[in-house]
Homo-oligomer: A and B are copies of this chain.
């Protein structure tokens, strides 16, 4: 996507052919900073500190992290050490495990002197594939929005879509998952308006989604995470679309904390609630998302302190709680499949159920239950 006149991805290989650049998302929206990753430690640090975030981008960064690891040391032990270090960065997104398995399964059979080149090649492929997947999610989601827009032809005003967190191009390599259909709908002339949940504690909605939508010229309003229910109750939301960090075999979706609350409100007000996801976020081994998906608990400082731009123009923090007050910081929640109207994947739209998922990914249905 474009920033000003220049096209960007969220991660790219440098012209030197080995170091990897990322947009440091902890500096957005106030500063656009590019950071160069030169080692697997750099890659793991960028994921852990959320300079890169979003399930698909975490996977892509981990793939390049393996390539950076193989460049300096390509023995079997280092494959395992590097993969272990990267896997330990974030517990919830399944793309991380998926990308690392794909890398290690490819690398192990190769002679060590071929591993670095092969790792770079596969990392590049994983990135390109993510872009294709998201472009395809965008097409399927656009069809859905077009149909809904045509069906409500009697109603005037904008077509209001509510989204939570950032599942835009910054969360992926390009295009985004939940935002890809929105970009396409806007480009095709549908008068889309987006309600952007600010998405505490890290405000990825207020900081990243709003920044993306503004850059692309999509009308939007940032709201607090508390507001979605009121809007849906009063007919001000036509459709919800979010991303997911892990989709269980039963259709349960694990996404940024608060997604479940919005899905409850959508269900209570019969607003369609769709989740956009690339195939690699499906965890076919996870039978029950609510019961099984591990939920990352992060530093309470993310709750008690808020980052933004100070009056001076610099980026800084304010503490919102009194001294001595304790806090807890759960990063994700799981929305039960029963609250999800449908899943928008690169292969089309299906119901949020094992049957629905297998209808689009029949090769997984044929595998033995694991």
Residues of A at under 8 Å CB distance from B? Answer: 28-30, 198-201, 203, 206-207, 210-211, 214, 220-231, 233, 256-258, 260-262, 264-265, 268, 290, 295, 300, 303-311, 316-322, 324-330, 332-334
Residues of B within 8 A of A310 (CB): 310, 316-318
Given the interface contacts A214-B322, A334-B233, does A304 sit within 8 Å of B206 by beta carbon? yes
Interface majority SS (helix, strand, loop, mixed), chain A? mixed
Given the interface contacts A222-B325, A290-B233, A325-B214, does A303 sit within 8 Å of B264 by beta carbon? no
Given contact pairs A203-B320, A226-B256, A229-B261, enumerate 18 new A-B contacts (beta carbons under 8 Å): A200-B226, A206-B321, A207-B322, A221-B300, A222-B303, A222-B325, A222-B327, A223-B330, A225-B225, A226-B258, A227-B328, A227-B330, A229-B260, A230-B257, A230-B334, A233-B333, A233-B334, A264-B265
Given the interface contacts A211-B325, A220-B325, does A229 sit within 8 Å of B333 by beta carbon? yes
Q: How far is the CA of A180 from the CA of B262 in the complex (A)?
A: 30
Does the CB pair A220–B326 fall under 8 Å? yes
Does the CB pair A309–B319 fall under 8 Å? yes
Does the CB pair B224–A201 fall under 8 Å? yes
Q: How far is the CA of A327 from the CA of B329 in the complex (A)?
A: 25
Does the CB pair A320–B308 fall under 8 Å? yes
Closest Cβ–Cβ distance, residue A266 to chain B (whole Å): 10
Q: How far is the CA of A310 from the CA of B318 in the complex (A)?
A: 5
Q: How far is the CA of A256 from the CA of B230 in the complex (A)?
A: 11
Q: Which of B214, B264, B268, B308 contacts A319 (CB 8 A)?
A: B308
Residues of B within 8 A of A210 (CB): 321-322, 325
9 A-B pairs with the lowest CB-CB distances in the bound complex, closest first: A226-B258, A308-B318, A29-B322, A230-B333, A264-B264, A200-B224, A222-B327, A229-B260, A210-B325
Does the CB pair A221–B333 fall under 8 Å? no
Closest Cβ–Cβ distance, residue A18 to chain B (whole Å): 33
Does the CB pair A318–B322 fall under 8 Å? no
Does the CB pair A227–B311 fall under 8 Å? no
Q: Which of B223, B307, B311 contacts A317 (CB 8 A)?
A: B311
- Supply 20 A–B pairs (Cβ within 8 Å), ascending by A: A198-B303, A200-B200, A203-B320, A207-B321, A210-B321, A214-B322, A214-B324, A221-B328, A222-B321, A224-B258, A225-B226, A229-B258, A230-B260, A230-B330, A260-B265, A261-B264, A305-B308, A308-B318, A309-B318, A317-B318
Q: How far is the CA of A222 from the CA of B300 in the complex (A)?
A: 9
Residues of B within 8 A of A222 (CB): 303-304, 321, 325-328
* Nearest opposing residue in chain B for A231, CB measure: B330
Q: How far is the CA of A304 from the CA of B196 in the complex (A)?
A: 12
Closest Cβ–Cβ distance, residue A48 to chain B (whole Å): 20
Q: How far is the CA of A18 from the CA of B221 in the complex (A)?
A: 45
Closest Cβ–Cβ distance, residue A235 to chain B (whole Å): 12
Q: How far is the CA of A330 from the CA of B227 in the complex (A)?
A: 7
* Nearest opposing residue in chain B for A164, CB measure: B226
Does the CB pair B198–A320 fall under 8 Å? yes
Does the CB pair A200–B201 fall under 8 Å? no
* Nearest opposing residue in chain B for A257, CB measure: B226
Closest Cβ–Cβ distance, residue A60 to chain B (whole Å): 24
Residues of B within 8 A of A207 (CB): 320-322
Does the CB pair A264–B268 fall under 8 Å? yes
Q: How far is the CA of A321 from the CA of B199 in the complex (A)?
A: 12
Q: Which of B227, B295, B306 contacts A306 (CB 8 A)?
A: B306
